[in-house]
């Protein structure tokens, strides 16, 4: 079996015989299988490959596809298999990213921060959080990112440049334990931490309580009133849970008169699951 793309049309071949075709135009999916080859899984194969090629099977991507209302029962069953549902005069398949600790953190910050602020990514890693903060800050905002590993800083700056965000944010090599030396007290609208290790790098190099607790304390001093500290905590076989437990103890010790602390546990996930936490400065 082979799929050949010829312009906007994807043709499915069984040996050298074309047995089906599909096309995707402005999010509308059209599929046709030769009647002699139906009910053998070829339609499913073609739809799956088309969705895969356009991000429809990516659990981290938000997608929307449409299709014409099918005329026969087999076509309706095929559409339902891939989560297409009737919507007026067509079928619609909507997917939103699976919820994650980092995704929840981004949603919370999007809902509570305004463009034009000064945001800090204290653990930039590969730059995904930094890019998010830059888009949130907008052209009138500013983002400072830092990481102790040069590779992470270079990757982050390259990501920002490729996204056209180099004028909004920049990354520097610095230990987050020395965060207080990089900005003035009361100057930041948000400080974001995503602890753990650099994805794709040696997992033996990871954040620890010795550096993270001073960084958290410094972050609180950098925040403006109504500013937000967001942190995703990790534990597991490699890093243990020392940093996670130390950070939680620090959060719970903060006075209610100055801070509101949220620890957002995924109750039916493993106890080692990432844990998003938020501190709102009064």
- Is the distance from CB of 170 to CB of 160 less than 8 angstroms? yes
Predicted local distance difference test score (pLDDT) of residue 204: 56
| 11-69 tens-digit pLDDT | 999 988 999 999 988 889 999 999 999 989 999 999 999 999 989 998 878 899 999 99
- Is the distance from CB of 52 to CB of 45 less than 8 angstroms? no
Task: State the Cα–Cα distance between residues 81 and 41, nearest whole angstrom.
Answer: 12
SS3 assignment, position 233: strand
Helix axes 128-137, 150-162, angle to 10 degrees: 40
pTM for the model:
0.76
| Mean pLDDT estimate for the chain | 92
For residue 158, give every residue at least 6 positions away whose Cβ sits within 8 Å of its Cβ, in sequence order, or none: 127
Percentage of the residues of the chain whose pLDDT score is greater than 90: 73
- Is the distance from CB of 7 to CB of 25 less than 8 angstroms? no
Predicted local distance difference test score (pLDDT) of residue 127: 95
Task: State the Cα–Cα distance between residues 279 and 282, nearest whole angstrom.
Answer: 9
Computed on alpha carbons and rounded to an integer, the radius of gyration of the chain in Å comes to 24
Predicted local distance difference test score (pLDDT) of residue 147: 93
**Residues of the chain under the 70 pLDDT cut:** 197-206
Task: State the Cα–Cα distance between residues 164 and 183, nearest whole angstrom.
Answer: 24
For each of the domains in the chain, give its residue range(s) and CATH number, in order of start: 2-95 (3.40.630.30), 101-281 (3.40.50.150)
In 126-180, beta strands by DSSP E: 142-147, 169-173
Q: Read off the DSSP letter of residue 181.
A: G
Task: State the Cα–Cα distance between residues 186 and 282, nearest whole angstrom.
Answer: 12
């Amino acid at each position: 079996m082979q799929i050949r793309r010829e312009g906007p049309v994807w043709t499915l071949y069984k040996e050298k015989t074309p047995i089906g075709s599909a096309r995707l135009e402005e999010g509308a999916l059209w599929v046709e299988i030769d009647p002699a080859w139906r009910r053998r899984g070829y339609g499913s194969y073609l739809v799956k490959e088309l969705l895969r090629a356009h991000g429809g099977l990516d659990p981290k991507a938000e997608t929307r596809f449409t299709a014409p209302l099918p005329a026969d029962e087999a076509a309706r069953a095929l559409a339902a298999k891939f989560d297409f549902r009737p919507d007026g005069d067509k079928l619609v398949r909507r997917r939103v990213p699976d919820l994650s600790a980092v995704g929840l953190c981004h949603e919370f910050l999007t809902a509570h921060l305004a463009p034009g602020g000064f945001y800090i990514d204290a653990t930039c890693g590969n730059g995904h959080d930094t890019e998010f903060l830059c888009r949130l800050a907008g052209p009138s905002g500013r983002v400072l990112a830092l990481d102790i590993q040069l590779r992470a800083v270079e990757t982050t700056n390259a990501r920002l440049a490729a996204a056209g965000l180099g004028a909004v944010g920049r990354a520097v090599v610095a230990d987050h334990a020395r965060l207080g030396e990089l900005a003035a007290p009361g100057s930041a609208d948000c400080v974001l931490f995503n602890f753990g290790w650099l994805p794709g790098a040696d997992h033996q190099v990871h954040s620890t309580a010795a550096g993270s607790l001073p960084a958290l304390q410094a972050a609180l001093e950098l925040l403006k009133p109504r500013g937000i500290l967001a942190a995703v905590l990790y534990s597991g076989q490699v890093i243990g849970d020392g940093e996670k437990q130390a950070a939680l103890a620090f959060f719970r010790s903060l006075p209610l008169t100055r801070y509101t602390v949220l620890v957002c546990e995924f109750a039916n996930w493993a106890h080692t699951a990432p844990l998003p936490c938020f501190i709102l400065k009064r």
